[in-house]
Amino acid sequence: MQNPGRDVAAVFRVSDEVRSACAERRPVVALETSVLSQGLPPPHNLESAYAMDRAVRDEGAIPAWTAIDGQQVRVGLGEGDLERFCDRALPIAKVARRDLAAALARGGMGATTVSATLWIAALLGIDIMATGGIGGVHPHSGDVSADLLEMARLPGLVVCAGPKSIVDPVATLERLEELGVLVVGYGTDRLPFFIVRDAGLALEHVVSSPREAAGLARMRRALGVSSAVLLCQPVGEAHALPLRKVEDAVRECEARAAAHGVTGKAVTPFLLSTLALVTGGASLSANLALLHANATLAARIAVEAEAG
Protein backbone atom coordinates (compact mmCIF):
# COMPACT_ATOMS: atom_id res chain seq x y z
CA MET A 1 0.00 0.00 0.00
CA GLN A 2 1.06 3.65 -0.28
CA ASN A 3 3.09 5.28 2.47
CA PRO A 4 0.83 6.81 5.12
CA GLY A 5 0.92 10.48 6.06
CA ARG A 6 3.57 11.72 8.45
CA ASP A 7 1.13 12.23 11.31
CA VAL A 8 -0.57 8.83 11.08
CA ALA A 9 1.09 7.57 14.28
CA ALA A 10 -0.57 10.37 16.21
CA VAL A 11 -4.05 9.02 15.53
CA PHE A 12 -3.24 5.35 16.11
CA ARG A 13 -3.62 3.74 19.52
CA VAL A 14 -2.31 0.19 19.32
CA SER A 15 -2.53 -1.98 22.41
CA ASP A 16 0.74 -3.09 23.97
CA GLU A 17 -0.22 -6.70 23.25
CA VAL A 18 -0.75 -6.14 19.52
CA ARG A 19 2.24 -3.79 19.20
CA SER A 20 4.66 -6.28 20.75
CA ALA A 21 3.22 -9.19 18.73
CA CYS A 22 3.70 -7.24 15.48
CA ALA A 23 7.23 -6.19 16.45
CA GLU A 24 8.20 -9.75 17.36
CA ARG A 25 6.45 -11.23 14.29
CA ARG A 26 4.10 -13.33 16.38
CA PRO A 27 0.77 -14.33 14.82
CA VAL A 28 -1.94 -11.66 14.83
CA VAL A 29 -5.47 -11.72 13.39
CA ALA A 30 -7.27 -8.49 12.51
CA LEU A 31 -10.99 -8.37 13.33
CA GLU A 32 -13.67 -5.85 12.31
CA THR A 33 -16.13 -4.32 14.77
CA SER A 34 -19.02 -3.44 12.44
CA VAL A 35 -20.25 -7.02 12.77
CA LEU A 36 -20.64 -6.31 16.51
CA SER A 37 -22.07 -2.79 16.36
CA GLN A 38 -24.31 -3.08 13.29
CA GLY A 39 -24.41 -6.76 12.35
CA LEU A 40 -25.37 -8.95 15.29
CA PRO A 41 -28.16 -8.12 17.75
CA PRO A 42 -27.55 -7.99 21.52
CA PRO A 43 -26.68 -10.07 23.47
CA HIS A 44 -25.38 -12.26 20.64
CA ASN A 45 -22.92 -9.61 19.48
CA LEU A 46 -21.02 -9.55 22.76
CA GLU A 47 -21.17 -13.32 23.12
CA SER A 48 -19.75 -13.66 19.62
CA ALA A 49 -17.03 -11.09 20.33
CA TYR A 50 -15.86 -13.04 23.37
CA ALA A 51 -16.07 -16.34 21.50
CA MET A 52 -14.06 -15.06 18.52
CA ASP A 53 -11.49 -13.43 20.78
CA ARG A 54 -11.08 -16.65 22.74
CA ALA A 55 -10.92 -18.77 19.58
CA VAL A 56 -8.02 -16.70 18.20
CA ARG A 57 -6.13 -16.90 21.50
CA ASP A 58 -6.75 -20.63 21.90
CA GLU A 59 -5.00 -21.21 18.56
CA GLY A 60 -1.95 -19.22 19.66
CA ALA A 61 -2.60 -15.88 17.92
CA ILE A 62 -3.42 -12.37 19.15
CA PRO A 63 -6.81 -10.81 18.25
CA ALA A 64 -6.52 -7.25 16.89
CA TRP A 65 -10.00 -5.74 16.94
CA THR A 66 -10.10 -2.42 15.08
CA ALA A 67 -12.34 0.57 15.78
CA ILE A 68 -12.56 4.36 15.84
CA ASP A 69 -12.72 5.78 19.35
CA GLY A 70 -12.71 9.55 19.78
CA GLN A 71 -10.12 10.80 17.34
CA GLN A 72 -8.04 7.64 17.45
CA VAL A 73 -7.80 4.45 15.44
CA ARG A 74 -7.87 1.70 18.06
CA VAL A 75 -6.17 -1.61 17.33
CA GLY A 76 -6.55 -4.22 20.04
CA LEU A 77 -9.65 -3.94 22.24
CA GLY A 78 -10.14 -5.30 25.74
CA GLU A 79 -13.32 -6.72 27.23
CA GLY A 80 -14.58 -3.32 28.36
CA ASP A 81 -14.05 -1.89 24.90
CA LEU A 82 -15.90 -4.78 23.28
CA GLU A 83 -18.81 -4.22 25.66
CA ARG A 84 -19.01 -0.57 24.59
CA PHE A 85 -18.97 -1.40 20.88
CA CYS A 86 -21.73 -3.96 21.43
CA ASP A 87 -23.96 -1.44 23.23
CA ARG A 88 -26.75 -0.47 20.84
CA ALA A 89 -27.69 2.47 23.09
CA LEU A 90 -24.50 4.26 22.03
CA PRO A 91 -24.22 6.21 18.76
CA ILE A 92 -21.71 4.12 16.81
CA ALA A 93 -21.09 4.96 13.16
CA LYS A 94 -20.39 2.36 10.50
CA VAL A 95 -16.96 3.22 9.11
CA ALA A 96 -15.63 1.99 5.77
CA ARG A 97 -12.11 2.86 4.60
CA ARG A 98 -13.35 5.93 2.74
CA ASP A 99 -14.96 7.23 5.97
CA LEU A 100 -11.87 7.03 8.18
CA ALA A 101 -10.72 10.65 7.87
CA ALA A 102 -14.22 12.03 8.42
CA ALA A 103 -14.86 9.71 11.37
CA LEU A 104 -11.60 10.71 13.05
CA ALA A 105 -12.17 14.41 12.46
CA ARG A 106 -15.68 14.17 13.89
CA GLY A 107 -14.74 12.07 16.89
CA GLY A 108 -17.12 9.70 18.65
CA MET A 109 -17.27 5.96 18.13
CA GLY A 110 -16.98 4.16 14.82
CA ALA A 111 -17.16 0.45 14.04
CA THR A 112 -14.87 -0.66 11.22
CA THR A 113 -16.04 -2.64 8.21
CA VAL A 114 -13.92 -5.12 6.24
CA SER A 115 -12.52 -2.36 4.02
CA ALA A 116 -11.43 -0.17 6.95
CA THR A 117 -10.00 -3.10 8.89
CA LEU A 118 -8.02 -4.31 5.88
CA TRP A 119 -6.50 -0.83 5.46
CA ILE A 120 -5.57 -0.60 9.14
CA ALA A 121 -4.13 -4.11 9.15
CA ALA A 122 -2.05 -3.45 6.04
CA LEU A 123 -0.62 -0.30 7.61
CA LEU A 124 0.55 -2.30 10.63
CA GLY A 125 1.81 -5.26 8.63
CA ILE A 126 -0.94 -7.64 9.80
CA ASP A 127 -1.49 -10.11 6.96
CA ILE A 128 -4.48 -12.13 8.18
CA MET A 129 -7.98 -10.96 9.02
CA ALA A 130 -11.25 -12.75 9.71
CA THR A 131 -14.85 -11.75 9.15
CA GLY A 132 -18.24 -13.36 8.53
CA GLY A 133 -19.26 -12.59 4.97
CA ILE A 134 -17.96 -9.89 2.67
CA GLY A 135 -20.05 -7.31 0.86
CA GLY A 136 -20.61 -7.59 -2.85
CA VAL A 137 -22.71 -6.41 -5.77
CA HIS A 138 -26.27 -5.78 -4.65
CA PRO A 139 -29.01 -7.06 -6.93
CA HIS A 140 -31.31 -4.55 -8.63
CA SER A 141 -29.31 -1.46 -7.59
CA GLY A 142 -25.93 -2.74 -8.75
CA ASP A 143 -24.27 -1.02 -5.77
CA VAL A 144 -20.78 -2.38 -5.15
CA SER A 145 -19.46 -2.81 -1.62
CA ALA A 146 -16.27 -0.97 -0.71
CA ASP A 147 -14.99 -4.35 0.51
CA LEU A 148 -14.35 -5.43 -3.07
CA LEU A 149 -12.57 -2.26 -4.12
CA GLU A 150 -10.30 -2.22 -1.08
CA MET A 151 -9.39 -5.89 -1.45
CA ALA A 152 -8.28 -5.02 -4.99
CA ARG A 153 -5.71 -2.51 -3.75
CA LEU A 154 -4.75 -3.70 -0.29
CA PRO A 155 -2.65 -6.76 0.62
CA GLY A 156 -3.56 -9.49 3.08
CA LEU A 157 -5.60 -12.65 3.35
CA VAL A 158 -9.26 -12.34 4.33
CA VAL A 159 -10.93 -15.40 5.83
CA CYS A 160 -14.68 -15.33 5.29
CA ALA A 161 -17.69 -17.50 4.44
CA GLY A 162 -18.00 -15.97 0.98
CA PRO A 163 -20.24 -13.07 -0.02
CA LYS A 164 -23.19 -12.26 2.22
CA SER A 165 -26.35 -14.06 1.13
CA ILE A 166 -28.07 -10.74 0.41
CA VAL A 167 -25.86 -9.91 -2.61
CA ASP A 168 -25.68 -11.27 -6.17
CA PRO A 169 -23.08 -14.06 -6.04
CA VAL A 170 -22.56 -14.23 -9.80
CA ALA A 171 -21.98 -10.49 -10.19
CA THR A 172 -19.84 -10.42 -7.05
CA LEU A 173 -17.54 -13.21 -8.20
CA GLU A 174 -17.25 -11.62 -11.64
CA ARG A 175 -16.35 -8.25 -10.11
CA LEU A 176 -13.71 -9.84 -7.87
CA GLU A 177 -12.16 -11.46 -10.93
CA GLU A 178 -12.24 -8.14 -12.82
CA LEU A 179 -10.52 -6.42 -9.90
CA GLY A 180 -7.79 -9.05 -9.71
CA VAL A 181 -8.72 -10.41 -6.28
CA LEU A 182 -7.74 -14.07 -5.93
CA VAL A 183 -10.72 -16.07 -4.61
CA VAL A 184 -9.81 -19.41 -3.03
CA GLY A 185 -12.04 -22.09 -1.56
CA TYR A 186 -11.07 -23.68 1.74
CA GLY A 187 -11.74 -27.38 1.30
CA THR A 188 -14.21 -26.72 -1.52
CA ASP A 189 -14.18 -25.87 -5.21
CA ARG A 190 -17.58 -24.14 -4.94
CA LEU A 191 -18.18 -20.58 -3.82
CA PRO A 192 -19.61 -20.47 -0.28
CA PHE A 193 -22.48 -18.02 0.10
CA PHE A 194 -22.37 -16.96 3.77
CA ILE A 195 -25.11 -19.00 5.48
CA VAL A 196 -25.37 -21.23 2.38
CA ARG A 197 -22.58 -23.71 1.68
CA ASP A 198 -22.73 -23.54 -2.12
CA ALA A 199 -23.79 -20.63 -4.33
CA GLY A 200 -23.67 -22.90 -7.39
CA LEU A 201 -20.48 -21.30 -8.73
CA ALA A 202 -17.18 -23.09 -9.35
CA LEU A 203 -13.88 -21.88 -7.91
CA GLU A 204 -10.61 -22.47 -9.72
CA HIS A 205 -8.32 -22.44 -6.67
CA VAL A 206 -8.57 -24.57 -3.53
CA VAL A 207 -6.49 -25.08 -0.38
CA SER A 208 -7.16 -27.82 2.14
CA SER A 209 -5.22 -26.89 5.27
CA PRO A 210 -4.01 -23.88 7.27
CA ARG A 211 -0.48 -24.69 6.14
CA GLU A 212 -1.47 -24.48 2.46
CA ALA A 213 -3.32 -21.22 3.10
CA ALA A 214 -0.31 -19.81 4.95
CA GLY A 215 1.90 -20.77 2.02
CA LEU A 216 -0.43 -18.85 -0.27
CA ALA A 217 -0.23 -15.80 2.01
CA ARG A 218 3.56 -15.97 2.10
CA MET A 219 3.79 -16.27 -1.68
CA ARG A 220 1.50 -13.27 -2.17
CA ARG A 221 3.80 -11.28 0.10
CA ALA A 222 6.97 -12.54 -1.61
CA LEU A 223 5.65 -11.54 -5.02
CA GLY A 224 4.64 -8.12 -3.77
CA VAL A 225 1.08 -8.58 -5.02
CA SER A 226 -0.84 -5.54 -3.84
CA SER A 227 -4.30 -7.13 -3.80
CA ALA A 228 -5.74 -9.37 -1.13
CA VAL A 229 -6.50 -13.08 -1.20
CA LEU A 230 -10.10 -13.95 -0.33
CA LEU A 231 -10.24 -17.34 1.40
CA CYS A 232 -13.80 -18.69 1.55
CA GLN A 233 -14.68 -21.33 4.15
CA PRO A 234 -18.18 -22.85 3.93
CA VAL A 235 -20.44 -22.58 6.95
CA GLY A 236 -20.67 -25.87 8.81
CA GLU A 237 -23.27 -28.34 7.54
CA ALA A 238 -25.08 -28.36 10.87
CA HIS A 239 -25.90 -24.65 10.54
CA ALA A 240 -26.17 -24.18 6.76
CA LEU A 241 -29.45 -23.17 5.14
CA PRO A 242 -30.72 -24.35 1.72
CA LEU A 243 -30.02 -21.93 -1.12
CA ARG A 244 -33.65 -21.77 -2.29
CA LYS A 245 -34.94 -21.02 1.21
CA VAL A 246 -32.45 -18.18 1.61
CA GLU A 247 -33.23 -16.74 -1.83
CA ASP A 248 -36.94 -16.66 -0.99
CA ALA A 249 -36.25 -15.09 2.40
CA VAL A 250 -33.96 -12.43 0.91
CA ARG A 251 -36.63 -11.40 -1.60
CA GLU A 252 -39.05 -10.84 1.27
CA CYS A 253 -36.40 -8.86 3.15
CA GLU A 254 -35.74 -6.67 0.10
CA ALA A 255 -39.45 -5.94 -0.19
CA ARG A 256 -39.58 -4.87 3.45
CA ALA A 257 -36.50 -2.65 2.99
CA ALA A 258 -38.11 -0.94 0.01
CA ALA A 259 -41.35 -0.45 1.92
CA HIS A 260 -39.45 1.18 4.80
CA GLY A 261 -37.33 3.35 2.51
CA VAL A 262 -34.06 1.86 3.77
CA THR A 263 -31.05 3.05 1.75
CA GLY A 264 -27.26 3.42 1.86
CA LYS A 265 -25.26 1.96 4.73
CA ALA A 266 -28.44 0.95 6.54
CA VAL A 267 -29.40 -1.60 3.87
CA THR A 268 -27.07 -4.44 4.87
CA PRO A 269 -27.81 -4.33 8.62
CA PHE A 270 -31.54 -4.08 7.89
CA LEU A 271 -31.52 -7.04 5.50
CA LEU A 272 -29.48 -9.22 7.84
CA SER A 273 -31.65 -8.48 10.87
CA THR A 274 -34.81 -9.02 8.83
CA LEU A 275 -33.37 -12.24 7.42
CA ALA A 276 -32.98 -13.53 10.97
CA LEU A 277 -36.66 -12.81 11.61
CA VAL A 278 -37.85 -14.37 8.37
CA THR A 279 -35.79 -17.55 8.92
CA GLY A 280 -36.89 -17.90 12.53
CA GLY A 281 -33.39 -17.23 13.84
CA ALA A 282 -31.71 -19.86 11.66
CA SER A 283 -29.63 -17.30 9.75
CA LEU A 284 -28.43 -15.78 13.03
CA SER A 285 -27.34 -19.18 14.35
CA ALA A 286 -25.46 -19.82 11.11
CA ASN A 287 -23.82 -16.39 11.28
CA LEU A 288 -22.60 -16.97 14.83
CA ALA A 289 -21.20 -20.38 13.92
CA LEU A 290 -19.33 -19.19 10.84
CA LEU A 291 -17.84 -16.18 12.64
CA HIS A 292 -16.34 -18.49 15.25
CA ALA A 293 -15.12 -20.94 12.60
CA ASN A 294 -13.52 -18.18 10.53
CA ALA A 295 -11.74 -16.67 13.52
CA THR A 296 -10.39 -20.10 14.40
CA LEU A 297 -9.17 -20.78 10.86
CA ALA A 298 -7.61 -17.33 10.53
CA ALA A 299 -5.65 -17.86 13.75
CA ARG A 300 -4.40 -21.24 12.57
CA ILE A 301 -3.26 -19.70 9.29
CA ALA A 302 -1.54 -16.82 11.10
CA VAL A 303 0.34 -19.29 13.30
CA GLU A 304 1.45 -21.31 10.29
CA ALA A 305 2.44 -18.16 8.38
CA GLU A 306 4.76 -16.99 11.13
CA ALA A 307 6.13 -20.49 11.73
CA GLY A 308 7.16 -20.73 8.07
Which residues are tagged catalytic? 32, 164
Task: Tell me how far apart the alpha carbons of residues 72 and 50 are, in angstroms, rounded to a whole number.
Answer: 23
Task: Tell me how far apart the alpha carbons of residues 294 and 130 are, in angstroms, rounded to a whole number.
Answer: 6
What is the distance, to the nearest Å, from the Cα of residue 298 to the centroid of all Cα atoms in its chain?
A: 11
Q: Of 171, 193, 183, which is closest to residue 229 (Cα–Cα)? A: 183
Helical segments of the chain, H only: 8-11, 16-23, 34, 44-58, 79-85, 100-106, 114-124, 146-153, 169-179, 210-223, 243-259, 267-278, 282-307
Let me know: does 302 contact 210? Beta carbons within 8 Å: no
Task: Tell me how far apart the alpha carbons of residues 234 and 61 are, in angstroms, rounded to a whole number.
Answer: 22
Handedness of CA 290, 46, 136, 297 (dihedral sign): negative
Q: What's the Cα-to-Cα distance from 200 to each of 44, 179, 191, rounded to whole Å? A: 30, 21, 7
Residue 56: strand, helix, or coil: helix
CA count, 13 A, side-chain hemisphere, 283: 26
**DSSP code, position 190:** B
